[in-house]
Amino acid sequence: MNLTDYIDRGARVAPTAPCMTLPDGTTLSTHAEFHRRTHRIAAALLSDGLEPGERVAIFSPNDADAFACIVGAIRAGGVWIPVNVASRGAEIAGFLNLTGCTRLIYHGSLAAHVSILLELVPSIVTVVSIGPGRPGDPVLRDWIAPEDTFAPDLPADPARIAVLASTGGTTGTPKAVPVNNLQLLLMCLANNVYFPEPERPRYICATPMTHAAGIVAFPVLAEGGRVIIHQGVKPKEIFDSIRVNRATRILLPPTALYALLGHPEVRAQDFSSLRYFLVTAAPIAPERLAEAVEVFGPVMTQVFGQTEAPLMCTVLTTDETADAVSEPTHRGRLASCGRPTVVARVEIMGEDGTLLGPGKQGEIVIRSDLVFDGYWNNPEATAETRRPGGWHGTGDIGLRDADGFVYILDRKKDMIITGGFNVFPSEVEAVLHTFPGVLDCAVIGIPDEKWGEAVTAVIEPKNNADIDTDALLALCREKLGPVKTPKSVQIRRLPRSPVGKVLRRELRDEYWVHASRQI
């Protein structure tokens, strides 16, 4: 079975149902219309000479036609290269050159960036704009094949690469991760298992479709559901969209969730239609998760995965989250990322390669058909992820409890060594998030002659609130003890990735730039 076989189910079960809509409820396409459009795009690519496995970049903000281009490129046997509009030109060009991209479909609003990209990426031979773009570039509505044109049906091939995704850009040179049909289908089917709905889902896609928000739309399409296309996380617009569209699910990273919780009108909204508020991309502060259950209802759920093993390796279900909020003896589970899903085995491994029992800290490792085959043309980096017994090493330090819940303590690279003691930033951040006025935070180690690294809290306040740093540090000493309590507090805006994730490594580098050592 191919990914497009799965997505096409939506057009079979709900051909006239809305497929792509705007936040105000306007229907952009039905499932039948979307299905035909993806075929016309696929046929145009093939007519243009696309060979199996050629890389097709889609450079666009969240857009219904851009989403059709994604599915169309995969349908034609091409490989989708996601390009985030918030990335820098040189960064985009570097990844397109790394993957050997030959085709570029871009949104007309980004025309000024495309001329620069084409100078930097000589391998691109086809350029098409969604809407008016650069003079002379074919426009999608004229370029696609005529109505009622259908692309040839590809043979089933679970190993066929559908996506080449970027990873590692926040900590070093980006690597390309091939994601094949089997991985995507397993991810989608696990999504169906853990997020069932009695009616067709209505999904708010607010963060970039080039990341998890786009891939999570695949199961919605297969169910004949509705993808509600937003341009970024604008709290009031999302509140209104949930109410107007009776949205049933949304996916956001923790930082975007915090922005919603920090909005002064959040507690006056109608969230009764929501069934799943999915949080992913980074650990969430337990107290904020409990607050989210109070605000949005018993709909909060989170998953853990990586680009190398997409999304559905563990899940903390809505029932488990609500139970952890209401049952004091289970409260600690709010700090977990849940238990392994039906499509992945997740364990904790010691440095000697042995699997560890409950309560023991080690590297989180995964064994599953979700796991990638290896980085694109980078066997050295691939070898760094391999562990004895066929396990994939995530690079995350964690543990599991006696009930099977997995806890991410931190990234190996982010651990702070202060005075010979190990401090995991996420543990300190969880306490900082309980302090009034904190919108978001990051904990890093900065150079210190006495301690080696001094634990430092960087706070982004909510609505420019005044933070009583003495009281904040007193709270940390009470909850964490002297070793883990920050030696200082910085108040400032935090650097973020295109999807809003705090770039702790970039933040750390600001303070280490003049240091004689980097660890």
Q: CB of 248 within 8 A of CB of 227? A: no
Q: Which residues contact 454 (CB under 8 A, 6 or more apart)?
A: 418, 445, 446, 447, 448, 487, 488
User: Are 369 and 461 in a shared domain?
Assistant: no
**Mean of the per-residue pLDDT values for the chain?**
92
Query: Does residue 19 sit in helix, strand or coil?
Result: strand
Q: Is residue 139 part of a domain?
A: yes
Its sign, for the CA torsion 427, 307, 191, 59, is positive
**Structural domain ending residue among the three candidates 165, 180, 195:** 180
Tokens representing 367 are 């064994």
CA distance 224 to 227: 10
Q: Write the burial class of residue 136 (CB in 10 Å: 0-12 exposed, 13-18 middle, 19+ buried).
A: exposed
Q: What is the Cα–Cα distance from 1 to 159, expressed in whole angstroms? A: 10
Tell me: do 88 and 147 sit in the same domain.
yes
- Pair (149, 256) in one structural domain: no
User: What's the pLDDT score for residue 516?
Assistant: 39
Instruction: Please say which residue of 137, 156, 180 terminates a domain.
Output: 180
Per the structure, the count of domains in the chain is 3
Interatomic CA distance for residues 289 and 277, integer angstroms: 11
Beta bridge partners, 250, equal 204, 277
pLDDT for 447 equals 83
In a domain, 455, yes or no: yes
**CATH code of the domain in which 122 resides:** 3.40.50.980
Residue 79 forms beta bridges with which residues? 55
- Judging by beta carbons within 10 Å of its beta carbon (0-12, 13-18, 19+), is residue 469 exposed, middle or buried? middle
Q: Give domain status of residue 191, yes or no.
A: no
Q: What is the 3-state secondary structure (H, E, C) of 412-447?
A: HHHCEEECCEEECHHHHHHHHCCCCCEEEEEEEEEE
> 420 and 381 in one domain?
no
Predicted local distance difference test score (pLDDT) of residue 170: 38
Same domain? For 495 and 368 the reply is: no
Q: Tell me the DSSP string of 339-367.
A: EE-TT-EEEEE-TTSPBP-TT--EEEEEE
Closest CA to 96 of 49, 46, 166, 48: 166
List pLDDT tens digits, range 73-105: 999 999 999 998 887 788 899 999 999 999 999
Q: Which domain holds residue 505?
A: 415-512
Residue 86 shares a structural domain with residue 164? yes
Q: Looking at the structure, do residues 330 and 451 belong to the same domain, yes or no? A: no
| Helices and strands in the chain: count of H runs, count of E runs | 18, 25
Nearest to 258 by CA among 469, 398, 463, 407: 463
pLDDT < 50 regions, the chain: 169-172, 516-519
Both 331 and 455 in one domain: the answer is no
Domain boundary among 379, 394, 411: 411
Whether residue 57 is found in the same domain as residue 7? yes
Same domain, 400 and 432: no
Of 308, 11, 313, whose CA–CA distance to 180 is shortest?
Answer: 308
User: What is the reported pTM?
Assistant: 0.84
Asked whether residue 479 is assigned to any structural domain, the reply reads: yes
